[in-house]
Amino acid sequence: MQVRNISLLNFKNHPERQFELSRQINCFVGDNGAGKTNVLDALHYLSVGKSFLGTSDTQNITRGSEYFTIQALIEEEEREHLLNVHQAQDGKKHIRKNGKLYTRISEHIGFLPSVMISPYDSNLISDSGESRRRFMDGMISQVDSQYLHDLIQYQKILKQRNALLKYFQRNRTFQLESLEIYDEPWARLAANIFQVRRDFIQTITPIVQYYYSVLSLGKEEIAMEYHSHLHDTDPMHLLRNNLEKDRMLSYTGQGIHKDDLWFGLDGYPLKKSGSQGQQKSFLIALKLAQTEHLTKHAGKKPILLLDDIFDKLDESRVTQLIQLVNAQDFGQMFITDTHKERTENIVKRINEESKVFEI
């Protein structure tokens, strides 16, 4: 997959901007706050239909405007596609490919796969399990439409079950038969999601370990573990064993919606024992593994979005990263940096076919 050009209209701090892009490496350089990351976020919108920063769609409209539009020409093998994302101030969002409107955003996911490496990724290490679940679900959903469908259905049923539990508590009543309507589909979907997540983590962990070993010159060892209530019991037993607790809490307290990932460094939690450079190296290794996984299972090379990639890495890790990227064909890359000379020197060591845009 190649993004040949992109145009932004009323998107964040870019009232109007166009870029003719390199097939290999594209660098956006400028001061902090100039809007470099916003260009990467626009590419992320084209990929998955939303901001990687977690902001609401209407917040990304240039102040004083009624809408934003992101449009790009995408080259897939020998075919070209025109991709358009339009967001109105009234909340309506439309994604079109070659003029045809997607009825559901889930239909679009996977067409233009992407991997984002950003300073905000540190939340994966420091935040709650919700961030890590969201990341895991995003990685799997780009290559497994059935998983995405099951996940959406699971969340819908979970919401309905929780609403009924709240109704029972509020009205001081309880009807087991009414609650059991949700239990069977909840358990079936939970089992499917658990199996896919477990298989995915088992597959991707050694790839992450390989990339981290390269970046750290083999001096450190990292680990990933998938934590889930379903490791110890099946979903239906989990519901039955926690029924009284769920009634007291008025929500479903256990299940795959509480799953988490544990990251370790030399046997200790990465969150506590890893330096900023070690944590960033881990996140880069994780995202490069995601890139390899997407390429293998989607049959497409994802675009690689590297935001402020060289910050907090010492010279040896930067060198290893450059050599790694140079040795592996990761496809089209987009890089932001505040230092133009540093970026130009680095990308020339990776590939001569590059473009540098000053923002």
CATH number at residue 254: 1.20.1050.90
- Of the residues 263, 284, 299, the one at which a domain ends: 299
In a domain, 122, yes or no: no
Q: Flag whether pLDDT at 314 surpasses 80.
A: no
Task: Name the residue range of residue 191's domain.
Answer: 129-299
Mean pLDDT of 311-336: 78
Residues 185 and 272 reside in one and the same domain? yes
In a domain, 119, yes or no: no
In a domain, 124, yes or no: no
Is 34 within any annotated ligand binding site? yes
In a domain, 121, yes or no: no
Q: Of 161-175, 264-278, 288-302, which range is least confident?
A: 288-302
- Of the residues 252, 281, 299, the one at which a domain ends: 299
In a domain, 90, yes or no: yes
pLDDT tens readout for residues 68-121? 999 999 998 889 999 999 999 998 999 999 999 998 888 888 899 888 888 888
Residues 133 and 273 reside in one and the same domain? yes
CATH number at residue 3: 3.40.50.300
Residues 213 and 91 reside in one and the same domain? no
Yes or no: say if 82 and 33 are a contact pair by the CB < 8 Å rule.
no
Is 33 within any annotated ligand binding site? yes
In a domain, 123, yes or no: no
Is 58 within any annotated ligand binding site? no
| Mean pLDDT, all residues of the chain | 91
| Three-class SS state of 356 | strand
Residue 196: its H or E element: helix 176-215
Is 274 within any annotated ligand binding site? no
pTM for the full predicted model: 0.79
Q: Total structural domains in the chain?
A: 2
What is the C-alpha to C-alpha distance for residues 51 and 302, in angstroms, rounded to an integer?
A: 17
Side by side, the strands of the sheet bearing 260-265 are: 222-227, 260-265, 268-269
Backbone angles phi, psi at 166, to 5 degrees: -65, -40
**Two tokens, residue 130:** 């919700």
Q: Of 17-21, 36-40, 150-154, 348-352, which range is least confident?
A: 348-352
pLDDT tens readout for residues 225-268? 999 999 989 999 999 999 999 999 999 999 999 999 999 999 99
Q: For 359, which DSSP code? A: -
Residues 306 and 295 reside in one and the same domain? no
Residues 224 and 107 reside in one and the same domain? no
Tell me the pLDDT band of 168, cut-offs 50, 70 and 90. very high
Q: Flag whether pLDDT at 192 surpasses 90.
A: yes
Residue-level pLDDT at 257: 97
Give the CA-trace dihedral at 348, 354, 358, 359, to 10 degrees.
Answer: -120
Mean pLDDT of 323-345: 81
Residues 155 and 288 reside in one and the same domain? yes
Q: Flag whether pLDDT at 126 surpasses 80.
A: yes
Residue-level pLDDT at 119: 82
In a domain, 144, yes or no: yes
Residues 235 and 349 reside in one and the same domain? no
Residues 291 and 327 reside in one and the same domain? no
Residues 280 and 306 reside in one and the same domain? no
pLDDT tens readout for residues 21-61? 998 889 999 988 899 999 999 999 999 999 988 789 999 99
In a domain, 352, yes or no: yes
Q: Of 81-85, 293-297, 354-358, which range is least confident?
A: 293-297
Is 93 within any annotated ligand binding site? no
Nearest Cα residue to 26 out of 55, 51, 53, 3: 3
Q: Flag whether pLDDT at 298 surpasses 90.
A: no
84 Ramachandran zone, left/alpha/beta (phi>0; psi -120 to 50): beta
Residues 249 and 348 reside in one and the same domain? no
Residue-level pLDDT at 352: 66
Residues 181 and 94 reside in one and the same domain? no
Name which residue leads in pLDDT, 292 or 330.
292
Is 30 within any annotated ligand binding site? yes
Is 36 within any annotated ligand binding site? yes
Is 32 within any annotated ligand binding site? yes
Residues 87 and 177 reside in one and the same domain? no
